[in-house]
Chains A and B, each alone.
Chain A
Amino acid sequence: MIHECMEHGAQYACLAANINFNLEGLRIGFWQLTIDGLAWGAIYALVAVGYTLVFGVLRLINFAHSEIFMLGMFGAYFALDIILGFTPSGNAYNKGIALTVLYLGIAMLFAMLVSGSAAVGLEFIAYRPLRRRGARSLTFLITAIGASFVMQEFVHFILPHLIKGYGGSNAQQPIILVQPKTQFHVFNATVSNVTILIVIAALILAILTDFAINRTKFGRGIRAVAQDPTTATLMGVSRERIITTTFLIGGLLAGAAALLYTLKVPQGIIYSGGFLLGIKAFSAAVLGGIGNLRGALLGGLLLGIMENYGQAVFGTQWRDVVAFVLLVLVLLFRPTGILGESLGKARA
């Protein structure tokens, strides 16, 4: 390719050779890209909720949330492998719809348990002492980076010594419960069973979370603390308990998202697998308006779809760049995001 460049002489031609601008591809694949993007977006949305809730309550970017998600992937894998006894192999299991959903449900619960407890543990060990000391926000961010290192490297080097065949430098052998299969067509686009499963599961969880935040007493407490911590405390809301709950909800959803992600990318269970997804989920939260629950859900879906469009236009290798550029653009031009409101102002 280099030689080809030399022959052309003009170097900017080389630059162009690596970046496509293929609007036709976007037009042809539009519906397929949208539907695949929805599945990605559903996963981003669930992880983004964790970022947005914590930010709403604490004004803190929980940088280590991506590692909470990563632990959830290992939790889901553990449940399928050790608890349910599936052996990792390239072949898919065919257990029928009811049984498959049951198994996936169990795995999801376990992943949520792992992620939820990791998130609460992180809050207790790393963030709570900082709050007691009234640390600056920079301090929180650095702690989050440190915690992120610790969790990643724990899975990378310590976990293989605790559970044989887990963690380490390589991704886990995939366990495939659902073989992707086309179920029906919408506007010439195929909809696979995996996509249906992911979107429905994410939708149920999103509705549940929205209900919990906007309709329950607990949720009112969270919104109160987000709006005004001092007044909330005076009104008898325990701030510390609310913060713990917030981390727990974020962790639970990250665990659920982790299982859905392993359905979409069965070979993606690796210690470093959370980082990129975490940044994208954060971008999604910012896109929708950080601190805003519905904003995070909307932002996740939008990011998933737009990333797919960008990939179609510029080429597959630029997928991640599209997400990053989107993040930068949103932060520069509308830092409050699309929906813009904070958690506290969402509903009085």
Chain B
Amino acid sequence: MSKLLAPGDGLRDWWDSLSRVPKWGFGVLLFGALALLPLYTPPFLDTPGISFGGTMAQFAMVAIIAIGLNVVVGQAGLLDLGYVGFYAVGAYTVALLTSPNSPWNKMSATGPFSAPWAWLSCVPLAMAITALAGLILGIPTLRLRGDYLAIVTLGFGEIIRLMADNLSDITNGPRGLSQVAFPRLGESEKLPEGVFSNGNSSGHANYGTWWFWLGLVLIVAILLLVGNLERSRVGRAWVAIREDEDAAEVMGVNTFRFKLWAFVMGAAIGGLSGALYAGQVQYVAPPSFNIINSMLFLCAVVLGGQGNKLGVIFGAFVIVYLPNRLLGVHFLGINMGDLKYLFFGLALVVMMIFRPEGLFPARARLLAYGKAAREWLRTPPVEKESAA
């Protein structure tokens, strides 16, 4: 473990020392405070020139992606550079099923999806189809390792985007699919399409804020799911594969199956985020799924700390918040918001040299017996010494 102090190391020691109940208590308080942030925005946090609620909604989506990518990259150690492809599959599934531009539009008064429930019923479908996409991509590619896997996934991510671009009879090509369905909630005279529609654009509780709240709920659900997986046999297998694939194989871990499992899980979570994106923006077009976004998501995971699911949420916050905060801030005649990729690139290079595990590195834990074993190991063996 690196001896360098990172922000929050002391905090993490304190957090690790807590038992489960206070952890939950603080967790609920933290998420509650986070949820209230768009309503009572502190002036130093506010993003001038762009809706703070919208920024937070974007953050929630990227956080979900980061958690999903963290399963693949951080837990199982598979470098996936084409993750944006799954995001695209999720978004396009919702858009294809509900956009009037699409030949597969199933949303009508008589069709399978009626307007109020269309988005919600598409979400599990989007996740299932993305998981299937993960399975289809995973089976041939996961026999490769390391750098090769990275390049092949990059190729696949690019192929998905190019298909969205070129199959214009279905995806409407570069023009994209518009008027995607979204949840209808709280419809009133002032907001005829509910609080989630982009007609709800004024004030603090605008549609961005509502999407942020929805995203937060999903984040908590996914965190619970992924946390439980981490502590299970599957999670232990992932860590074993990440640390040494050959050794894991020799010890009887079916590495291919667990790698595939990680890939599919990650894909499904990415698809969920894509479905959120399609619903919030109500418009899906190929440029949103450029490979550079894949790199950006990876950046969130690496910044936050590969393998640490709370760390990567912080990473996602940095990735989304900083560019929006710096938008419109000028320095030497350069718009600082434009320089986001430059900063992130620099951050990646510097980080890899000084703290390759990220800001909040995942700590190697005794996964099997958890906290009890850790404490038992930490207490000095007093009795044995006296006996000797």
Q: Chain A residues near B156 (CB, 8 Å)? A: 324, 328
Interface contact A142-B159, CB-CB below 8 Å? no
Q: Chain B residues near A154 (CB, 8 Å)? A: 342
Q: How far apart sit A148 and B341, CA to CA, in the bound complex (Å)?
A: 10
Q: How large, as a class, is the contact surface on chain B?
A: 35 or more
Bitwise, A118-159 to B at CB < 8 A (1) or not (0) is 000000011001100101111111110111111011101110
Asked whether A139 and B151 contact (CB < 8 A) given A161-B332, A332-B143, the answer is no
Interface contact A150-B356, CB-CB below 8 Å? no
Interface contact B339-A157, CB-CB below 8 Å? yes
Interface contact A335-B169, CB-CB below 8 Å? no
Interface contact A318-B166, CB-CB below 8 Å? yes
Interface contact B334-A158, CB-CB below 8 Å? yes
Interface contact B159-A321, CB-CB below 8 Å? yes
Interface contact A143-B349, CB-CB below 8 Å? yes
Contact among B167, B341, B356 for A139, CB-based, below 8 A: B356
Contact among A6, A15, A129 for B353, CB-based, below 8 A: A129
Whether A31 sits at the interface, judged by CB under 8 Å, is no
Interface size on A, residues (CB 8 A): 55
Contact among B146, B151, B353 for A282, CB-based, below 8 A: B151
Whether B310 sits at the interface, judged by CB under 8 Å, is no
A–B pairs, 13, beta carbons within 8 Å:
A142-B298, A143-B352, A145-B345, A146-B348, A153-B341, A156-B338, A156-B341, A161-B332, A279-B155, A282-B151, A317-B162, A321-B163, A325-B159
- Name A's B-contacting residues (CB within 8 A): 1-2, 4-6, 11, 14-15, 17-18, 60-61, 125-126, 129-130, 133, 135-143, 145-150, 152-154, 156-158, 161, 275, 279, 282-283, 286, 317-318, 320-321, 324-325, 327-328, 331-332, 335
Interface of A is mostly: helix
Interface contact A135-B151, CB-CB below 8 Å? no
Q: Chain B residues near A5 (CB, 8 Å)? A: 103, 169-170
Residue of chain B at shortest CB distance from A325: B159
Asked whether A147 and B169 contact (CB < 8 A) given A141-B147, A142-B352, A282-B151, the answer is no
Residue of chain B at shortest CB distance from A321: B162
Whether B326 sits at the interface, judged by CB under 8 Å, is no
- Name B's A-contacting residues (CB within 8 A): 77, 79, 101, 103-104, 140-141, 143-144, 146-148, 150-152, 154-156, 158-159, 162-163, 165-170, 172, 291, 295, 298, 302, 332-335, 338-339, 341-342, 344-349, 351-353, 356
Q: Chain A residues near B140 (CB, 8 Å)? A: 328, 332
Q: Chain B residues near A324 (CB, 8 Å)? A: 155-156, 158-159, 162
Q: Chain B residues near A137 (CB, 8 Å)? A: 146-147
Interface contact B342-A149, CB-CB below 8 Å? yes
Q: How far apart sit A18 and B141, CA to CA, in the bound complex (Å)?
A: 26
Q: How far apart sit A2 and B171, CA to CA, in the bound complex (Å)?
A: 10
Q: How far apart sit A60 and B352, CA to CA, in the bound complex (Å)?
A: 15
